[in-house]
Each structure stands twice: as C-alpha cells, then as structure tokens.
Structure 1
Amino acid sequence: MRVCMLTTSFPRRRDDFAGAFVYSLARELGKRGVEVSVVAPHDGRAARYETRSRVHICRFVYAWPQRWQRLAYGEGIPNNLRQHPWVALQIPGFLAMFLKTAWQVCADCDIVHVHWAPLAWLGLALKWRYRVPVVLTVHGSDVRSLPPFLIRPAMERVDAVVAAAPETEALLQELGVAHHAIPLPIDEETLQPGMAPGAVGDELGLRPGDDVVTFVGRLNEFKDPLTLIRAAPLALARRPQTRFVIVGDGPLADELRAAVDGLGLERAVHLAGARRDVGCFLALSKLFVALSPVENAWSMTIAEAMHMRVPCIITRAGRTEQLFTHLEDSFLIPPGDERALAEAIVRLLSGKEERDRLARGALDLLQRYGKDTASILQRTLSLYQAVLVPALKIDSTL
C-alpha cells in the first residue's frame, strides 16, 4: 500500500517539534510495510528531499528567495497571517506549488491522507485526477477557528474524516460531518518509560533532590503557561526545592521571560524553548501540568506524560472532565487559578503514594481509550483498507 500524506507542518530536522505527530504516524506506518511519502512546505533551510525512517519527504518551495518563505512554520499559518498580514501574498504561490508537487508525488499512490481541513480541497483535486480515495485528519485548530463554509463542503466530499481528539469529534458533530475517532500515536521511540534523561538535567542546572514540574506545549493563551509562572512563587514558599521547566515556543515567550525576571524566578524556572527531546524532560519530571482554559481533552502532551508515568495536573476546561477523573488518573483544578495549581503541586510533591496511584490510573486510562500505538495503527490500516474498497461498509467505531 502506498500512502501520500499532505501536511502544512512536518519536522524539518530530527530535533524539530513542528508536525512531529504526523511524522510519528508516517514512521509507524512505514514499519508495518506501508510506503509513505510526505509533501510539506519548505522553510528556506531544510532539505528539499530526504528519506527518514522509510518515510519519503518532499518539501516544496513557494516563495523566492527561499528565505522569504514565512507562511508556514513559526507560529503556525493562522498566527503568521495575523502577525504579518503581508504573508497573505504568499498564499497563491503556496497553494499552487503544494498542488504541483503533490500532483507529481501522489501519481502512484493508493491513498491520499490529508492533515488540516483546508488541504482537503487539494486532496479532492488529486482524487479527481488519480481516482484515489482521500482520508482527512482534522486536528482541532482548523475546525475550531475556520468558517464552516470554507471547510465543510470539502469534508463532506472526502472518503473519510478522522478526528484525532474528543474536542475535534464534538466540533465535527456540530458541523454534521460523519467521522472516525482515531488518535495520533505517541512517539514511542523517543518516549520510553524509565529512560535516562541524558544531559538535560546538567543543561538546566538541576541538582540532586530537585523536584521538577514540567509544562510542554505552545506558549500561547490556549495553553496558558503564565498561570504556572504565577503559581511558582506560591509553591516555592512551601517547597523551595521545586524547579519548573517550560518546554515550547510561541507568541507568549517574551512575556514569560519578562514574568520570570520580574518575579525573580531565574533560578527556579527554566524556559527550554522548542525541543524534540521531550522524553528526556519527562524522564526528569515528578509532575506534568496542562493548563488550557479552553480544552485539554486528549492533548497529545498529556498522553505523552501519562505514557511516561508522570502524574498530571489538568485544568477543568472544555470536555476535560468527560475523559479524566479527579484523583483517579489525574489531579483536576480550575483554569487560570494559580493558587489551586500551587496547592496541587505542593500536595502531590509531598505524597509519592498519591503520585504513583495517579500514574497507574493514567496508564489504565490510556489502555481503555486505545491510545497505544498498536491499536492506533490497526485502526488506521483498517480505515485505509475500507476506503480502498468502496463497497465495504466503514465501521464508524474505528
């Protein structure tokens, strides 16, 4: 089976965080005998063509000189357009070169698998040209922020729509779009429970006995890392050996640095930036925090932390409480409440037995929801087989 994936974000280097979840899916499919090609934007520095872990990658150039390419990567396409309106001038070239490259790469494929709802229109052009089925995976930000008239007609015309998270499922239900619930796989190559943290501890200046609390994610209002900064002094007053590590980058990065400096937290809070070695940070951690005021339901970073046996503190936002149970698989707190967060941090750092119980409950939760890689790949391959045989009824429970 030959699958061509179209995505607006894909790792440009081995240590790149952008689109890592798409790479994990492509790599795991490759291990199971699927020939995967990926078409993604170039950024002016990455290799145009490369093969990585059996995945063939083709990056298209859409602006010249290449260093002027600013639509993709960075803060993500929507944020790039908001922050730099002139980037909209690159959209026609972006779409034209995306389609031209996909037209060539997908010529011999059996299935086109599109990531990000607007790209479904390109997938449909390839479906018309090559008579191949199109699978669309939506990731949340596309159906959450884009007008329905732009994406719903395309979603209704592809062969299958996949929701990667419960929040996305609910949004698709509101749009009246039939879909299948299949999460993206955890990168089990770089996230191995019990793994050594390598040199990360020394890099951050951590000392034996430090209790590490970790945040991983985009530094934006949707993820709310600032609440962790505000909670840090409250927790440090009672647990001075606590260290806070924030892994990620985004539009709030400068504001976070200013807050750390303003509160005199330089020794206790470490801003690690965007990293690909998230597993090393989780291996150091006694707690993980997910603080979105909007939605946490099966955030990839929560699944990764639970897989690594790190107890999670999660805000009661969106559909969070429909998945996670307070004191059974996680510790739930109100969003935007630094005092509640500090109290939870102090309580859990003071109680190893409770941390261990939450970690065990989280593993049970992952298994119940089929978040292990083997289950995810089996469901993905079953869906591929189903769309290849139009007469075969596709089970919506996939």
Structure 2
Amino acid sequence: MKVCFVTTAFPRWLGDGQAAFVWQAVRAVARQGVQVEVIAMHSPGVPTSEYMEGIRITRPRYWWPERWELLRREGAAGLPATWRKYPWLRLQVFPLLLVHTLVTARHARECDLIHAEWSFSAAAAVLSKWLHRKPVLATLQGSDIFQVTRSSLGSALTRQVLSRCDQVTVLSRALQNATAAVGLPAGQITIVPNGVDTNHFLPPENREREKLILYVGSFIERKGVRHLLDAMPQVLEEFPG
C-alpha cells in the first residue's frame, strides 16, 4: 500500500519545528511498512524535491520570484492568519491551490490513498480526484474549521470540499461538532487525536517529583497561552512553591 500525504505545513528541513507532528505521523505510517510520499508547500530556499529519511518530499513552487513565496509568513499561526494580516497575499492562494492540485493529480496515480492535512490540501485532492480516482482522507487540525468558516463563503467552500472526501478525521470532540455544524454528516467524521510517541514520552517513574505545568501548542495568542500566564497568580496562591 502507498499513501500520499498532501499538506500546506511541513518541516522545511530535518529538525525544523514547523508542523513537526505531520512529519512524525508520516514516519509512523512508514514504520508500519506502508510506502509514503509527501506533497508539501514550498518555502524560499527549500528544495522542490528531496528525500528525508528515505521518504520522497515534493514541494512545488507556487510564486515567482521564489523569495516572494510568503504564505507561510506567519509560521505556526497558519495560512488564515497570514492572509488576514496581509490581505494582498491572498493573490498567492489560487496559484498555490493550482500547483498542489496538478502535482497531487500526477503523484496520486501511483498511490492507494490520499491523506490531506487541513481542508486546503483536501481541496487539492478532491479537485484532482476525477483524474486520480483514489479515496481521499482529510484530517482537520482546527484553524481550517474554527477560522476559515467564520465567513459564509469560507463555510460554504469548506462544506463543498469536505463533502467530497471519503472520510474526515478531527482531533477532538469540539472540532467534530464544529465540522458537523458546517453541514457534514456526523457519520463521515471520526475523532482521531494526534498520536504520542511513547518511546520519548513516558509517565515518570518518580511520581513524587515537583509539580510541573506543561503548555502544549504554538506560542501564538489564539492558543491561549495568555490565559495560562494570567492564571499563574491564582495557581501559585493555591499551590505555593
């Protein structure tokens, strides 16, 4: 079996923290004996084609000159944050969708399943489906539902894309409810949280150690890290030391 991952966020090089969880998922699938390849969004200075740990990565350019490929300008905040902050960059959205659709159509013919990360990648997969005729699994991460669907146009486009996917997975119950609210049948949505590599993350043997607070998420405002900081005085008052 061969799976083609299509994603707008992906590490630019080994060790890059950008969308590291997508790379971890790709590697985990490959470790199960499944052939995988990745179609990812290009960034300035990054190869358009390479192999990372034996996995083929294709990053088609979507704008010229290369240095003006700026849709990842906001980094972990994602595409919606970029085109809200820099409205003129919306001009690059259609070229990005076009090249991802064309490249997906070509590569998908050699695969058995298309796994699209985020609804934008799902759009490329379903637009080219009449050519590759392969099942499309879309995984929604949050911003593609919670932000894009704030407008009626974004909601309508998202519904059209997801309804043409064979299956949709989401990370949480809240995201499942939000996706269903867009108009997708509940039976088409499955909750599959991001996995944890237990080779690296294990419960501590010493459970008597000092208490630690773990924040997980990008260091951006909408992730709510400010609420953690605001709550710290009360936390320290109830749990001194």
Task: Compute the TM-score of the two structures, normalised by the length of structure 2.
Answer: 0.83
Deviations 1:128-170 (A, max 9, x none): 1121111111111111122320111221121111112222112
Amino acid at match of 1:86: W
> What's the offset of the Cα at 1:50?
2.3
What does residue range 332-343 of structure 1 map to in structure 2 within 5 Å? 337-343=231-237
| SS of equivalent to 2:122 | helix
Tell me what 1:96 maps to.
98
The answer to whether 1:140 aligns with 2:135 is no
Larger Rg: 1
Tell me what 1:153 maps to.
160
The answer to whether 1:184 aligns with 2:194 is yes
Flag the 1:88–1:190 CA change in 2: closer, same or farther, 3 A: farther
> What's the offset of the Cα at 1:229?
4.2
Flag the 1:51–1:227 CA change in 2: closer, same or farther, 3 A: same
Count of aligned residue pairs for this structure pair: 228
Flag the 1:128–1:345 CA change in 2: closer, same or farther, 3 A: farther
Amino acid at match of 1:127: K
Amino acid at match of 2:128: L
Amino acid at match of 1:72: R
For structure 2, the residue ranges without an aligned partner over 5 or more in a row are 150-154
Between the aligned partners of 2:54 and 2:202, the Cα distance in structure 1 is 21
Task: Compute the TM-score of the two structures, normalised by the length of structure 1.
Answer: 0.52
Deviations 1:220-244 (A, max 9, x none): 33223234445xxxxxxxxxxxxxx
Indicate the RMSD between aligned Cα atoms, in angstroms.
2.5
> What's the offset of the Cα at 1:345?
5.0
Amino acid at match of 1:32: Q
Between the aligned partners of 2:45 and 2:190, the Cα distance in structure 1 is 36
| SS of equivalent to 1:23 | helix
Tell me what 1:117 maps to.
119
Flag the 1:227–1:176 CA change in 2: closer, same or farther, 3 A: closer
| SS of equivalent to 1:60 | coil
Amino acid at match of 1:115: E
Between the aligned partners of 2:10 and 2:125, the Cα distance in structure 1 is 17
Tell me what 1:9 maps to.
9
> What's the offset of the Cα at 1:101?
2.0
Amino acid at match of 1:31: R
Flag the 1:39–1:190 CA change in 2: closer, same or farther, 3 A: farther
Tell me what 2:175 maps to.
168
For structure 1, the residue ranges without an aligned partner over 5 or more in a row are 196-208, 231-336, 351-398
| SS of equivalent to 1:10 | coil
Specify which of 77, 80, 101 is matched with residue 78 of structure 1: 80
The answer to whether 1:218 aligns with 2:218 is yes
Between the aligned partners of 2:16 and 2:213, the Cα distance in structure 1 is 23
Is the CA contact (8 Å cut-off) linking 1:162 and 1:181 kept in structure 2?
Answer: yes
Between the aligned partners of 1:58 and 1:189, the Cα distance in structure 2 is 29
Percent of residue pairs identical: 29
| SS of equivalent to 1:113 | strand
> What's the offset of the Cα at 1:54?
4.0
